[in-house]
């Protein structure tokens, strides 16, 4: 089988890239020292996370000269995400650390005045009238980054680069560049479904589609921008027979209402994830809703689920549940970062933290809002990047007659409480809703944003499993408080609910569970309905 070499330095999920390459009929060899680079014909530089962290790792391990030599020799080279950023001169993410300088230009941060940052989700890599490396103007690719190369017409083209662009809000940025033997993508082709696999295949097969004379080709600006994401969520736990099943609760009660009170069994996690991927889900989230106590961490059943899922599902995978500092069954202390690392190595792109984030936020507030530096959120985001850390919030309504009754952040609600109360606040809970804390949702999300979280998965216990639509009031309260993206969750019962949440709130993504698991609607039906209403979504390709 033909071979491609991958640089083994990377923080984050490399498994999906390996799976994608193997699916395309190539084998992966690892580069583990600068001397190994000379062996490589085709070389891929993957990259997730922090520009400065990655560049410092390359330079301290003496990789920079070897990579430059490979590129200058004319052998095929592909950079992904930070692997694209590394080709430029530098980034305001870490101004003291230089890039390779193969392309003139620098990266700066997206403006978050009127949009969420990081830029997470599916966007274009628009090459307009021409295909390079199989990129199509109508296709969408998965991006996750806060820093970008701003696109200025002609600037890179004059250096001989062919450029594919994307638009986020009013900013146009570089989605991919190509010249001669080099391809670099800001998006993650290994997470971009069929469209992304096509790009990797074109690189591996040497089908660039670039003009032979090396002259850059100027393309027009991408118009559409970031799509609204539709996410399928699988709550996973062991049932009373000891099998790992996908389940689903009503307001977090996952047991049947019938006399046996068995755990609802809605199917097998790996098979269901694959089904939702094929239906066009933009991401798949697994929540381990019980902690698999008494199980050595290295054998966590979710690790196997991720490994198997990432072999066939080429969209981002999030895993949540039990991510906190803990003690293993043999008494060894294990940090949240180590647990997250096991998940990333098994195929997760993001980890989601629930209970631990609430307790940490309480301490952060009690300590005068000073960062500790050693919390799970801070540790994981500093190694894997903010975008890899999702905070799963499980709030529930506390009704009050008037805001003065509480110190908490309140809203006035169109849905009065049991005694006609017209105001409420949202109390955070831990342990799957079993314990309610004196912390409101605004306090939580602002605290975790300050600590380095990259995204909020906003559940709502009152709405969970009700099929009555999302809690729009909760979503707007949270969106108004933070800049990081929000995933609306709980209450979806039909495609109109998705349309409602996207048109009436500024949520970045919306998640459904029960309606998909019970087979009432497919993800495709939801996306078709959104497209019909004129919303920008990713239509899956085959």
Per the annotation, the verdict on 394 as an active-site residue is yes
User: Does 336 participate in binding ligand 1PR (rule CB under 6 A)?
Assistant: no
* Strands 509-512, 486-488: pairing kind: parallel
CA 83 to the chain's CA centroid: 18
Residues 409 to 438 in contact with ligand 1PR, rule: CB under 6 A: 432
Name the DSSP class of 539.
P
Query: Contact, 430 vs 460, CB < 8 A?
Result: no
When the beta carbons of 83 and 465 are compared against ligand 1PR, the nearer one is 465
Q: Quote the tokens at residue 268.
A: 């097998």
Q: What is the C-alpha to C-alpha distance for residues 88 and 58, in angstroms, rounded to an integer?
A: 14
Q: What is the C-alpha to C-alpha distance for residues 321 and 363, in angstroms, rounded to an integer?
A: 21
User: Does 513 participate in binding ligand 1PR (rule CB under 6 A)?
Assistant: yes
User: Does 340 participate in binding ligand 1PR (rule CB under 6 A)?
Assistant: no
Scanning 41-49, 210-218, 473-481, 486-494 for contacts with ligand 1PR by CB under 6 A, the matching segment is 486-494
Q: Residue 222 Cβ, how far from ligand 1PR at the closest point, in Å?
A: 32
Q: Residue 526 Cβ, how far from ligand 1PR at the closest point, in Å?
A: 11
| Burial class of residue 207, CB neighbours in 10 A (0-12, 13-18, 19+) | middle
Residues 386 to 405 in contact with ligand 1PR, rule: CB under 6 A: 392, 394
Q: What is the C-alpha to C-alpha distance for residues 240 and 479, in angstroms, rounded to an integer?
A: 39
Task: Tell whether omega for the bond before 118 is within 30 degrees of 0, i.e. cis.
Answer: yes
Per the annotation, the verdict on 8 as an active-site residue is no
Name the DSSP class of 347.
T
Find the binder of ligand 1PR among 254, 272, 342, 484 (CB under 6 A).
254
Strands (E), 240-394: 244-247, 283-288, 317-320, 326-327, 333-334, 350-353, 389-393
Per the annotation, the verdict on 295 as an active-site residue is no
Q: Residue 214 Cβ, how far from ligand 1PR at the closest point, in Å?
A: 50
When the beta carbons of 71 and 451 are compared against ligand 1PR, the nearer one is 451
How many chain residues interact with ligand 1PR (CB under 6 A)? Answer: 30
Name which of 135, 141, 154 is nearest 81 in CA terms: 141
Per the annotation, the verdict on 325 as an active-site residue is no
Find the binder of ligand 1PR among 161, 252, 292, 521 (CB under 6 A).
252
Q: From the candidates 94, 157, 172, 190, give the one annotated as an active-site residue.
A: 190
Q: 80 — phi, psi (to 5°)?
A: -120, 130
- For residue 81, say whether it is annotated as part of any ligand binding site: yes
Query: Contact, 180 vs 214, CB < 8 A?
Result: yes
Q: From the candidates 81, 233, 428, 460, give the one annotated as an active-site residue.
A: 81
Q: Residue 520 Cβ, how far from ligand 1PR at the closest point, in Å?
A: 10
* Strands 317-320, 350-353: pairing kind: parallel
Per the annotation, the verdict on 271 as an active-site residue is no
Q: How many CB atoms lie within 10 A of CB 532?
A: 10
When the beta carbons of 126 and 285 are compared against ligand 1PR, the nearer one is 285
> Mask 456-475, x = binds ligand 1PR (CB under 6 A)?
---x----xx----------
Binding site for substrate, by residue number, is 322, 459
Question: Which residues belong to the active site?
Answer: 81, 188, 190, 235, 394
Which residues contribute to the site for ligand 1PR (CB under 6 A)? 233, 235, 248-249, 252, 254, 287, 289, 320-323, 352-356, 392, 394, 432, 459, 464-465, 489-492, 512-514
């Amino acid at each position: 089988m033909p071979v491609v070499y991958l640089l083994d330095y990377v923080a984050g999920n490399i498994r999906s890239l390996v799976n994608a390459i193997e699916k395309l009929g190539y084998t992966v060899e690892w580069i583990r020292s600068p001397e190994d680079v000379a062996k490589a014909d085709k070389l891929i530089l993957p990259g997730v996370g922090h520009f400065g962290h990655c560049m410092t790792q390359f330079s301290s391990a003496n990789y920079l000269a070897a990579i430059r030599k490979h590129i200058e020799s004319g052998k095929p080279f592909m950079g992904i995400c930070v692997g694209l950023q590394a080709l430029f001169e530098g980034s305001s993410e870490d101004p003291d650390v230089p890039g390779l300088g193969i392309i003139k230009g620098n990266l700066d941060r997206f403006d978050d005045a009127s949009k969420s940052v990081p830029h997470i989700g599916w966007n274009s890599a628009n090459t307009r009238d021409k295909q390079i490396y199989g990129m199509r103007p109508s296709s969408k690719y998965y991006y996750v980054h806060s820093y970008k190369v701003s696109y200025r017409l002609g600037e890179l083209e004059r250096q001989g680069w062919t450029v594919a662009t994307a638009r986020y809000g009013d900013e146009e940025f570089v989605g991919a560049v190509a010249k001669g033997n080099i391809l670099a993508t800001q998006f993650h082709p290994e997470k971009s479904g069929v469209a992304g696999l096509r790009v990797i295949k074109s690189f591996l097969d040497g089908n660039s589609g670039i003009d032979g004379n090396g002259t850059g080709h100027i393309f027009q600006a991408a118009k559409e921008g970031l799509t609204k994401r539709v996410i399928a969520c699988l709550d996973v736990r062991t049932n009373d027979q000891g099998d790992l099943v996908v389940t689903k609760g009503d307001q977090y009660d996952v047991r049947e209402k019938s006399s046996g009170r068995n755990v609802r069994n809605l199917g097998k996690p790996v098979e269901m994830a694959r089904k939702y991927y094929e239906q066009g889900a933009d991401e798949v989230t697994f929540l381990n809703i019980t902690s698999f106590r008494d199980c050595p961490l290295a054998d966590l059943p979710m690790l196997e689920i991720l490994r198997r899922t990432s072999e066939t599902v080429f969209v981002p995978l999030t895993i949540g549940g039990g991510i906190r500092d803990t003690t293993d069954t043999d008494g060894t202390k294990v940090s949240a970062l180590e647990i997250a690392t096991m998940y990333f190595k098994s195929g997760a792109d993001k980890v989601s933290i629930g209970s631990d984030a609430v307790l940490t936020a309480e301490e952060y507030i009690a300590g005068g809002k000073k960062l500790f530096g050693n919390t799970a959120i801070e540790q994981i985001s500093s190694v894997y990047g903010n975008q890899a850390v999702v905070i799963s919030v499980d709030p529930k309504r506390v009704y009050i007659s008037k805001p003065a009754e509480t110190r908490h952040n309140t809203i006035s609600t169109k849905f009065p409480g049991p005694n006609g109360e017209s105001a409420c606040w949202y109390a955070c809970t831990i342990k799957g809703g079993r314990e309610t804390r004196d912390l409101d949702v605004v306090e939580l999300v602002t605290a975790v944003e300050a600590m380095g979280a990259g995204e909020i998965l906003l559940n709502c216990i009152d709405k969970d499993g009700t099929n009555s639509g999302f809690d729009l009031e909760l979503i707007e309260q949270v969106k108004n408080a933070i800049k990081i993206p929000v995933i609306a969750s709980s209450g979806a019962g039909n495609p109109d609910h998705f349309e409602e949440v996207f048109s009436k709130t500024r949520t970045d993504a919306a998640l459904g569970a029960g309606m998909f698991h019970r087979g009432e609607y497919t993800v495709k039906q939801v996306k078709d309905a959104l497209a019909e209403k004129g919303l920008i979504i990713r239509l899956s390709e085959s």
